[in-house]
Amino acid sequence: MMTNPYIINFPRIGNSALGYISVSENDLMPFETKRVYWTYYTPESIRRGRHAHHALEQILVAVAGNITVETEMPGGLKEKFILDSPSVGLFMPKYCWHEMEYSHTAVQMCIASMVYEESDYIRDYEAFKKLQP
């Protein structure tokens, strides 16, 4: 039984006068964090992602701007998520095909369950479609 992608609402501490802080603490997280990376200055015409992973699980956060994430799971479940709040994350389980588009100002933070490993990528959509759920 595969887990599907889902939204995580991070705690939002503060108020409009002071500003806010959000925290990804381990009791809220479906995995232990091994790596954090971030992408920025992605042109609006560019679609990133277009792959799945054998083992890596990630949480995407639009810490600034808006990110549209389209996901597909083996078995065919397709979903579209609009990340437009710095206190919201999208959990993407392993074998989740994902494609993202960014607003001009978007900064995407990725909290990852594994170190970077190119052999973990499934970049061929036809190979992804052959996976059994």
Residue ranges binding ligand TYD (CB under 6 A)? 37, 39, 48-49, 116
Q: How far apart are CA 15 and CA 48, in angstroms?
A: 34
- Residues paired with residue 67 on neighbouring β-strands, in sequence order: 83, 102
Report which of 14, 22, 126 is spatially closest to residue 72, judged by C-alpha positions.
Answer: 126
Q: Give CA–CA dist 82/64, Å, rounded.
A: 13
Active site residues: 51
Phi, psi (deg, nearest 5) at residue 132: -90, 135
CB of 53 to ligand TYD, least distance (A): 9
**CA–CA separation, 96 vs 57, rounded Å?**
9
First-to-last C-alpha distance (Å) of the chain? 8
Closest distance to ligand TYD from the beta carbon of 69 (Å)? 11
Using the minimum distance from each CB to ligand TYD, give the nearer residue, 12 or 110.
Answer: 110
Task: Say if residues 89 and 24 touch (Cβ distance below 8 Å).
Answer: yes
Which is closer to ligand TYD, CB of 39 or CB of 68?
A: 39
Residue (118 or 126) nearer to ligand TYD, CB: 118
Closer to ligand TYD by CB, 21 or 36: give it.
Answer: 36
Closest approach of Cβ 133 to ligand TYD, in Å? 22
